[in-house]
Amino acid sequence: MTDVNLLMAKALSSLDNYVLHRSLCGTAFAIVEFCNKIKKHSFNSSLKSFGFESEKINAWALPDAVWSRICLKYPELNFYPLGTITERATKKTIVRLSFFASGKNSLNIGEKELSRNLRISIKSLQIKGVLKLFLIEYFFEMCIDQNRRSWKDLKFDLGFWYNFSKDGYFVSLLNERKLRQTLANQCEEKAGIFLPFLMECMEERDFTRNKQRISDGFVRTFGILPPKRENLKNLRKSFLNVIVGTKSFSELRKSYVVDKKAKRFLLHTEDPNISFSFDTLERLLRHNIHSLIKDLLDIGTTVYMADLYTKREFSLERRVSILMPVRHPHVWSNVQKELEHAVSFLGRDNFSIKFIKRKEKVDKLRRFSVKLDNRCVCLFSGGLDSLAGAVWVLDHKLDPIFVSHYSSNILVGIQKSLISQLEKIYNKPLQHLGLRVSKTGDKKIKNSLSAPFRSVMIQHLRSFLFLSLATAVALESKIKKIYVFENGPVALNPLFSEARVNTRTAHPHFLVRFKELVKAVFGIDIIIENPFLYHTKGEVVNILARQELQGLVAKTVSCWNWSRVPLWAKQRGIKGFKGRHDGECIPCIIRRSAVHHARLWEKDTNYLINVFNQFSKLQRDNRTMIADFLRFCLNIKSLSDAELLFHTPDLSVYEEGVNPQELMRMYKRHAKEAIDCFRARSNKEFQRIFASVFR
């Protein structure tokens, strides 16, 4: 479907005028401010006055740099769905300005040429033209966000996949590009109609009048008036849907708007419904944990469990609003905004948290200290990346403490088995700490939790829990360095399908925000590094290609649905199946591509489904997801640098120490790994589909 009026009608029906006004006008003001500074001042002084140092900026990083400055001024723009729409539209506008003047498709240009391109583009287009570019991309992203299949017939949500037709997985890459261009042309026409209303907002910064102008603009352009919601800002401040503790709902409603389906979590009580204890950690450390660190662990646990039990709306938007007791409420209240921004960025959620006093004896606040030496804390999940990371650490002669989170005895068994095998290979004892965080198994307790939502769109906030556990161990052990091992494509997790929400697992922005949060709370600088940021998964698995390590590959777990696979095998009548991989989820697809690249195909585990010769038998959802992934990889392989950054603006990253050009090169290798695997491993039927559809 490419009718812009129908798509915008669907989009606007779920958005109120207040949100649209803040999104459109806030971003437009910031873009105009940026352009005016570039026009009037030198490039260096323009960038510095906008809030960042020029030596960190190049054409690859500039889109994300501008967006990050906008978010500092308008932090609510981060939230899904408008956060992703506005982010992509802003970055695409900056990409256009960066190479508009030269007409070149390479972004390998120096600062002088970048400055020249921007000045010529802005002078040629004028502010009016720049804002029209932004509106075109804004409307286009709103339409793409709505151009998704209906999932109302499903009993659970699997996420949304980008489709232009009912049989979206049979749309060729060439036709998809044509359909995108058709939609873009319609958006350009609509942007021309809407532009005068936005220009009026730029000239007079009056909130009430501008809000009305935005409404008038949408009526004039699309014939639709966005619905109004009374006192939305106050509603967000007082809304609760996750309550930690025993305070009654009736008492809470005196001060808050409590959701009818609010979840209650009980931690460290006589009848807890969450299984989590400090005992395991204290036994390893051989001393009691400081009460401020206990707060960090409780917050990490609550964030993780709230993710499992808070369902996304039809729009994929999700509000997670928590009220929880902590031992040092004044400390955490002082960093509330930093905490909310870190978690909201990680899962693209509208996340908020409020703190009250926990009735418990607390330790005196003190200065924490860490030491940079050979010791480190390493996250260890039991997947291929964390296993390769463990090998990397041991090969570098470091002294690690491996920290794991698990929700079942099966997973902790896998983790312990891998650590035991490494001990034998390296002939040395290893420290391993596994902490259980899950719902309690006792269904008879008063506030027992039901099963989490069955969705690929949960565990988006797991990284926050994982890092909280690692930080607690590091602080209590006086260790300065924490290692996160995640291959680059999964660490960044760009939207390979534009109407799908991905968690930004180990994104450099998230890691930096988490470090800043730790410094604000504990007063120390820790180091969090991901040595695999510029590695594809195939390159990560190559670390395990040594003869003595190959046997461990099959013992790792990567699948989204690993716990359900044995049951699914039984339902399919497959007797004796002992694997833990369904074979058709994206982690399984990327894993198989990586193992193929590392020439360890015969050393890998069993998969319930072989997508390479059973593609036509897969459910439509999974066919579409795989098709989207392959189209994403083919775009990476075939588009020029500038075209690729325009098509996938998530690949622009502005953060100290991050090289965006290297990220782009890594993604090209990642795309090649996946395409090579499908071409080599697919049967003739899928080869025909691949040749005709994915060309």
pLDDT digits (tens, 9 = 90+) for 31-58: 998 898 888 877 777 777 777 765 567 8
For 467-494, how does the pLDDT look when each residue is reduced to its tens digit (9 = 90+)?
A: 999 999 999 999 999 999 999 999 998 8
Return the pLDDT at 451. 76
Return the pLDDT at 261. 87
Return the pLDDT at 233. 45
pLDDT band for position 158 (cuts 50, 70, 90): very low
Return the pLDDT at 498. 58
What is the rounded average pLDDT of the residues 68-96? Answer: 82
Return the pLDDT at 467. 97
Return the pLDDT at 231. 46
For 301-357, how does the pLDDT look when each residue is reduced to its tens digit (9 = 90+)?
A: 999 999 999 887 766 778 899 999 999 999 999 999 999 999 988 988 889 999 999
Contacts of 6 (CB under 8 A, 6+ apart): none
- For the chain, the average pLDDT equals 86
Return the pLDDT at 661. 87
What is the rounded average pLDDT of the residues 499-523? Answer: 90
Return the pLDDT at 170. 60
What is the rounded average pLDDT of the residues 282-301? Answer: 94
Return the pLDDT at 363. 93
Half-sphere exposure of 115 (CA within 13 A, CB side): 17
Lowest mean pLDDT among 27-31, 76-80, 400-404, 610-614: 76-80
Return the pLDDT at 403. 97
**Total Cβ atoms within 10 A of residue 20:** 20
pLDDT band for position 168 (cuts 50, 70, 90): very low
CA 693, CA 413: separation in Å to the nearest integer?
43
CA 229, CA 232: separation in Å to the nearest integer?
6
Q: Are 259 and 239 in contact (CB under 8 A)?
A: yes
For 543-567, how does the pLDDT look when each residue is reduced to its tens digit (9 = 90+)?
A: 999 999 999 999 999 998 888 898 8
Lowest mean pLDDT among 130-139, 597-606, 679-688: 679-688
Return the pLDDT at 315. 65
Return the pLDDT at 20. 81
Return the pLDDT at 235. 44
Q: Is the dihedral of CA 128, 134, 139, 140 positive or negative?
A: positive
For 386-419, how does the pLDDT look when each residue is reduced to its tens digit (9 = 90+)?
A: 999 999 999 999 999 999 999 888 899 999 999 9
Hey, where are the domains in the chain? 4-229, 233-357
Nearest to residue 594, comparing CAs of 501, 440, 488? 488
Please state the pTM of the whole predicted model: 0.92
Return the pLDDT at 150. 44
Q: Residue 499 pLDDT > 70, yes or no? A: no
Q: Residue 670 pLDDT > 60, yes or no? A: yes
CA 129, CA 136: separation in Å to the nearest integer?
11
Q: DSSP letters of 146-214?
A: H-B---TTSSS-----B-SSTTGGGS-HHHHHHHHHHHHHHHHHHHHHHHHHHHHHHH---HHHHHHHH
Return the pLDDT at 229. 58
For 102-119, how does the pLDDT look when each residue is reduced to its tens digit (9 = 90+)?
A: 676 677 787 888 888 898
Return the pLDDT at 189. 95
Q: Residue 167 pLDDT > 70, yes or no? A: no
Give me the percent of the chain exceeding a pLDDT of 70. Answer: 89
pLDDT band for position 452 (cuts 50, 70, 90): confident
Return the pLDDT at 497. 66
What is the rounded average pLDDT of the residues 205-234? Answer: 75
Return the pLDDT at 70. 83
Q: Residue 161 pLDDT > 50, yes or no? A: no
What is the rounded average pLDDT of the residues 567-584? Answer: 88
Helices H / strands E in the chain, number of each: 27, 11
Lowest mean pLDDT among 184-193, 198-207, 259-268, 280-289: 198-207
Looking only at Cα atoms, what is the longest distance across the chain?
73
CA 504, CA 493: separation in Å to the nearest integer?
6
